[in-house]
A and B are shown apart, each in its own frame.
Chain A
């Protein structure tokens, strides 16, 4: 029992409620959100320290011992993801301060922001499948509000589609939970793992596994990503940065958890399907990223590529690839948030999102240019930046398990990432600025620079200190390769 692990969920929840009451006072709202996130980062650091020194931490809600009641579990994977979520959230919050606009701030932007955080963090920490659904919903409902906030025509139109997709996938989620509960009679993830191992009906469990895969793939944008590029293009950059860094990763986390903890017994069929979905995602995402000449679209398709790459790590179940998946997941959260924040800054400074109509920004905004270059190299996986170690481990695991085709596609996807982002870099920063936009340079606020510099530092430090970071991510990978660690920690009492 450890009551601290509910705090990362509780702090944003309480802050969100308090923020509703001071909606008209923007300065107060900013301060409150910033303090709340900063406090939460400290709590998350403390949890990582505790998990490191004392092992997996659990909390039984209301004193109901598992398998009854709802349990919160902080293993190293969950703790690290919570920490990275909060760091990314802090950066997005800083970027939002001056870029989101007063109207949105008055209409509860910060409240929805905190509710979204509560949902994301709850999804990472919960050890109960139905509670995962509830946290997903908290996250999704706030994301509906964030994506439509502002009410432009495009936002309204895209939100309709985004909502419909997510309602359908949530419905399937409940259906999958119903089948699973009917088959094995429990919802506690650790207990599920034991029961699934005992039950001999392999057929129905594979069907349930596939149903879960469809649900989480829809949320993560794994192969079923047709909704993603359009929807993520609608809201302002601060919101897209948050979505791109966090929401798809929650779906991926759910896939990791389900298929390493609950359905890990039968590794043949489902993991092969994940592998093929990963390959298709990387190829299709790569084609999209190469094809478009609009910054928003190119960056959105880059989310898709990295989702595919992480799923490749999940598909080739080996120690190296799972370690790499955890590392790459953390790297991708920071790097994607950085990329989107810089993308937003480029669009603001150039006054357009079309690559053909901008150019020569490096003269006026050298900092943005160089940081974009660093983010680009990190995403491609150039050492000594953060993407390198994760890619090496995932590819090593893939080759060890004999997935040569998938590894090849994974490497090819890096090239497509490089090509698409270099295209953005050259289009935006090189050449001459178009004459008609020459008149007045737009001033980029200092908070935006602060957010981008912070994330750049994380990306660099995760790369330079990868040995040190790896000592933590390998603990997370150990739990993924050996689920009995998780099960014993939850069910020991």
Chain B
């Protein structure tokens, strides 16, 4: 199971990085999104995948999964959701004002 998860994480990272390196702003945002998904899976996998019971079944439970990574992932998902939506709005506004979504044209000059 760990192997498949690692492959999935690797693919998500690779695609995310590839997208971030492109010129279109929309692709870049989607790339950051894929990257965060990869990181969340990484967090889940690094804290050992266990098949079996849910976390916090009570003190007598015979087996349960470590609940900390799940809490961390939940926090991180919320944050990345907020940041991504802000990024989309910003990109839209920037596209409206600047008339382009090509990063090459967004270099900017000093004298303005």
Q: Which residues of A approach B to under 8 Å, CB–CB?
A: 130, 133-134, 137, 141, 144-145, 148, 151, 153-154, 156-161, 163-164, 167-168, 170-171, 174-175, 177-179, 181-182, 187, 230, 294, 297
Contact = CB atoms under 8 A, between A and B. Distances in A.
B97 A181 contact: no
Given A144-B86, A160-B25, A182-B46, A168 B75 contact: no
B98 A157 contact: yes
Given A160-B90, A181-B68, A137 B79 contact: yes
20 contacts: A130-B75, A141-B83, A141-B86, A144-B86, A144-B90, A153-B98, A156-B93, A156-B97, A156-B98, A157-B106, A160-B94, A161-B106, A163-B86, A168-B32, A168-B35, A170-B83, A171-B35, A174-B43, A181-B47, A182-B47
B82 interface: yes
Contacts of A170: 79, 83
Given A156-B90, A160-B90, A171-B35, A179 B98 contact: no
Interface in B20-37: 20, 25, 28, 32, 35-36
Closest A-B pairs by Cβ, 4 of them: A182-B46, A178-B43, A156-B94, A178-B46
B21 to A, nearest CB: 11
Contacts of A153: 97-98, 112
Residue of A156, A171, A177, A230 with most chain B CB atoms under a 10 A cut-off? A171
A144 B87 CA distance: 9
> Which DSSP category, helix, strand, loop or mixed, fits chain B's interface?
helix
B13 to A, nearest CB: 9
A181 B108 contact: no
A197 to B, nearest CB: 21
A167 to B, nearest CB: 5
A182 B41 CA distance: 13
Contacts of A133: 76
A297 B109 CA distance: 13
Contact of A134 (B39, B75, B91): B75
A161 B83 CA distance: 14
A160 B26 CA distance: 11
Interface in B34-92: 35-36, 39-40, 42-43, 46-48, 68-69, 72, 75-76, 79, 82-83, 86-87, 90-91
A153 B86 CA distance: 17
Contacts of A297: 110
Given A159-B90, A160-B25, A178 B39 contact: yes
A477 B8 CA distance: 45
A94 B71 CA distance: 40
A175 B73 CA distance: 11
Contact of B46 (A137, A148, A181): A181
Nearest to A158: B108
Given A153-B98, A156-B98, A174 B108 contact: no
Contact of B110 (A130, A145, A294): A294
B76 to A, nearest CB: 6
A230 B86 CA distance: 21
Contacts of B83: 137, 141, 163, 167, 170
B93 A151 contact: yes
A159 B89 CA distance: 12
Contact of A187 (B68, B94, B97, B110): B68
Contacts of B43: 174, 177-178, 181
Contacts of A160: 25, 90-91, 94, 106
Contacts of A174: 36, 39-40, 43, 72, 76
Nearest to B44: A178
Given A137-B79, A157-B108, A159-B94, 12 more contacts: A134-B75, A144-B90, A148-B90, A151-B93, A153-B112, A157-B94, A158-B108, A159-B90, A163-B83, A164-B28, A178-B42, A294-B110
Contacts of B28: 164
Contacts of B86: 141, 144-145, 163
Contacts of A130: 72, 75
A148 B43 CA distance: 32
A177 B82 contact: no
Contacts of B68: 181, 187
Contacts of B94: 156-157, 159-160
A284 to B, nearest CB: 18
A167 B32 contact: yes
Nearest to A140: B83
A26 B75 CA distance: 34
Contacts of A134: 75, 79
A117 to B, nearest CB: 19
Contacts of B112: 153-154
Contacts of B69: 178, 181
A141 B75 contact: no
Nearest to A354: B111
